[in-house]
Structure 1
C-alpha cells in the first residue's frame, strides 16, 4: 500500500525533523527562506494510521514564461530509503509534483555508498596511477546502497553524471569529508589529526590567533574574505545578501542552526567560516581566508575551535562538506582535499543526485540549457 502524501505545515515539518537524530540542513523548513527564487513547500508522507512517517522540503523553480517547474529536494527527502517497496514512497511524490506543474524532479538520497579512511585517501593521492577517488578501493562499502541505486534505475530515475570538479558544480556534492565524533573525546579527535595539523594548531595558539563567534554585524567582514577566496580559488561568489538571509532565516528557526566564526591576529580578520547544525550533525558550510599572515595558521585555528564547539554541542559527525573526486596534481582543489584529510576523518561518497523526467521534452531542453551555461 502506498503512503499518502500531502503538504504539511512548517510546524509539522520541524517537529518531524526534531524527532530524528539529524537530517540535512537543506531539508529543514527554514532552508526554503534562504532560496527566494524557488517556491518552497513541505511535504509529508503518512501511513495507513495517519502518522507522519516521512518529510521533505521541495523547492520549485519556474521555467521562464511557462507555468512549469523544476522540483528539487536537495539531500532529501527524509524517508525510509531502506524500505523494500521504495516505489510506494516515491510514486506518490512524483504524482503530487506533476499535478503541481513539475516537468522534472531532482532529489539527493541521503544514502552513503562508500567510505575511504584518511590513510586510504593519502595513499590514493600519492599513487601515480590513481586519477579519481571513485577508482580507488574503498575502506568500507555500505550494505544496501547498490540495491537502492538499482531500484531507482528500474523505477525510471536517472543518476546525474558528475562533472569534472564534481562536488563543486551545480547541485550538492557527492563526495564529502567527515570527522566522526561519536564515542570519541575531544582529545581523541585531536590525536587523529596528522602531525602537520597538530603543529599548526599550536603555531596559531603561540602566535596569538584568537577565534571568536561573530554576529550579523560581522557578516561584511566575513564577506570581504569570502570574495578574496572566490577570486583566488576561481568560483563565483554569492552576494552578501545571501549570507544575511541565511543568518536571519536559519537562526529564527533555531539560534544554533547557524554560527559565524572569525580568526583574528593583532586585530585583523584572517579567516572566517560558517557552521550549521541540525540535530547531532554539524557542517562546516562556507570558509574564507586571506593569503596574508598564513604563517600564523588561522585556518587550522578556526577549524579546531569549530570542532571543539561542535563536540560540546553533542555532534556525532563534523562534516567538512565537499571534496574533489580528482586526484591529479594539476587540479587546484587537491590542496583542499589534503587539508581536510589531515583531520584524520574519512571521505564519504553518497548516492549522488537523481532526476526523474515527468516531461521528457522539457527535461531534455533544461539539460541542454544547463550544459551550455
Structure 2
C-alpha cells in the first residue's frame, strides 16, 4: 500500500519498437553511426543493406525500414527488396545480409513481428533474411593442416563458435524460420555466400599483416614489384577493361556470373553517388597492359572493406598482378581504418584434387580465417495460398 501523499512510481513499459518507413538519408545515417554505436549485437553492416543497393538490383523494388522506440529513437534499419512472382500480385521479400537490429534482444520474435506485419501488408507471401552474424570460425593454420582427399571445412571442429550466432539460430528455428540449404527449407539455397574469408585488420600494423602472409604470397608480391607491376586505384573508365578480363577469367576457371558491363557501371554510379568511394576499381598494369582488375566495396560505417569480384588475364601470370592488387587493397583498407578485409565467398572443399580448392588455397595465403555466417533463413507468412506461392518462387529463383 502506498502512503497518502506519496506518488506511485511510473510503470516502465517495454513496448516493441515500431517499424516505419525511412528516407534514404535516415537509413544511411543509422548505418554510418547508429549501428556502429550500438555495438556488435547488430552484427556487421553490409553494403547489401545500404539504401542505394535497391538501385543496383534490377527486377526488384526496395524500401528502407526502421525500428523506432517509444521515444522516437531509431534502433534498427533494413533494406527490404521485393520480387513479384510472375503471374501474381504477390511478392517475395528479401533482406540481404540484414536486417541491422539488436540480435541479442530478449524477445527476438517480438522485434521481428512488426517487420513481418509490414511486409505482409505490402503483399509479401514469404520473407528471406540473412542475419549478419558469424557462426563458426577456422584459422588458416587449422585449415591448411586439415587438407586432404574428400575433406570439407564443415567436417572440422571450428577454432571458435560464436555464442550470439548459435543462440540466434536456435531462436529462429523455434520461431518457425528455416535455414536455406537444410532439408526442411523446401529447396531454398543461400543467395549470398555462407562461408567467407576474412583478414582481421584492427589492432594490427602493416608489418603484422605482411608477416601474416605465407611465404608464397610474400614472394609473389615482391616479384610483382620487381617486375614493375603498378597496382593502382582506377576510375569507371577502366570498367570495360575489367569486364573483358572477367570474361577471360570465367572461361578459364569454369564459372559464369552472368553480369553485364552495364551492371557494373550502374553499381559503380549508384553506390558512389550515395557515398563517394564506397565502390572502387583497382587495376594492375604491366608494360602498358591491364593484367588484373578487382572491385572493392566499403561498408557505410567504414569498418569493412569487401573484395567483390576479381578478374585477370591468361598471359603474363608470372608477374603476379593479382597478388599485387590484393596487397594494395589490404594496405588501403588498413590505412583508412577498416577493421576487417572481407574476401567474400570461398568453397568448403579442403581436397587439393578438386578444382574449387584453388580459390580457398589462394585466400588462405593471406593468413586470415574462414568464417561461416549464420546463413539465410526463410519464413512463409501464414496461409495455404502463401505456402503454394512460396514453393513456386523457390522454383523460379532456382531456375534463374
TM-score surpassing 0.5? Answer: yes
Judge conservation of contact 2:190–2:376 (CA < 8 Å) in 1. Answer: no
Superimposed CA distance per residue, residues 309-333 of structure 1 (whole angstroms, 9 cap, x where no aligned partner): 1111111100000001122334322
2:180 matched residue in structure 1: 160
1:360 matched residue in structure 2: 387
**Where does structure 1 differ by over 6 angstroms across 4 or more consecutive aligned residues?**
none
For residues 162 and 308 of structure 1, what CA distance do their matches in structure 2 show?
A: 38
Judge conservation of contact 2:143–2:350 (CA < 8 Å) in 1. Answer: no
For residues 276 and 399 of structure 2, what CA distance do their matches in structure 1 show?
A: 40
Could you tell me which runs of 5 or more consecutive residues in structure 1 were left unpaired when the two chains were aligned. 164-168
For residues 231 and 101 of structure 1, what CA distance do their matches in structure 2 show?
A: 41
> Mapping of 1:165-180 within 5 angstroms?
171-180=191-200
1:15 matched residue in structure 2: 29
1:272 matched residue in structure 2: 293
- Are 1:345 and 2:345 an aligned pair? no
Superimposed CA distance per residue, residues 74-121 of structure 1 (whole angstroms, 9 cap, x where no aligned partner): 000000011121012211111110110111111000111111001011
RMSD: 1.5
**Higher mean C-alpha displacement, 244-253 vs 130-139:** 130-139
Judge conservation of contact 2:51–2:79 (CA < 8 Å) in 1. Answer: yes
Judge conservation of contact 1:226–1:289 (CA < 8 Å) in 2. Answer: yes
> Mapping of 1:1-373 within 5 angstroms?
1-19=15-33, 20-21=35-36, 23-125=45-147, 127-128=148-149, 131-161=151-181, 171-233=191-253, 234-278=255-299, 279-358=302-381, 359-372=386-399
Q: Decide whether aligned partners of structure 1 residues 355 and 329 sit closer, same or farther in structure 2, where only a CA change above 3 A counts.
A: same
Superimposed CA distance per residue, residues 336-363 of structure 1 (whole angstroms, 9 cap, x where no aligned partner): 1000000000000111000011211111
Could you tell me which runs of 5 or more consecutive residues in structure 2 were left unpaired when the two chains were aligned. 1-14, 37-43, 184-188
Judge conservation of contact 1:25–1:277 (CA < 8 Å) in 2. Answer: yes
1:166 matched residue in structure 2: none
Judge conservation of contact 1:3–1:88 (CA < 8 Å) in 2. Answer: no
Secondary structure of the residue aligned to 1:54 is: strand
For residues 32 and 105 of structure 1, what CA distance do their matches in structure 2 show?
A: 17
Secondary structure of the residue aligned to 2:97 is: coil
For residues 284 and 89 of structure 1, what CA distance do their matches in structure 2 show?
A: 32
Secondary structure of the residue aligned to 2:163 is: coil
Secondary structure of the residue aligned to 1:291 is: coil
Judge conservation of contact 1:227–1:237 (CA < 8 Å) in 2. Answer: no
For residues 255 and 371 of structure 1, what CA distance do their matches in structure 2 show?
A: 35
Judge conservation of contact 1:230–1:237 (CA < 8 Å) in 2. Answer: no
Secondary structure of the residue aligned to 2:76 is: strand
Secondary structure of the residue aligned to 1:212 is: strand
Q: Number of aligned pairs? A: 366
For residues 124 and 363 of structure 1, what CA distance do their matches in structure 2 show?
A: 40
For residues 145 and 182 of structure 2, what CA distance do their matches in structure 1 show?
A: 23
For residues 176 and 334 of structure 2, what CA distance do their matches in structure 1 show?
A: 41
For residues 66 and 144 of structure 1, what CA distance do their matches in structure 2 show?
A: 38
- The two structures have a TM-score, normalised by structure 1, of 0.95
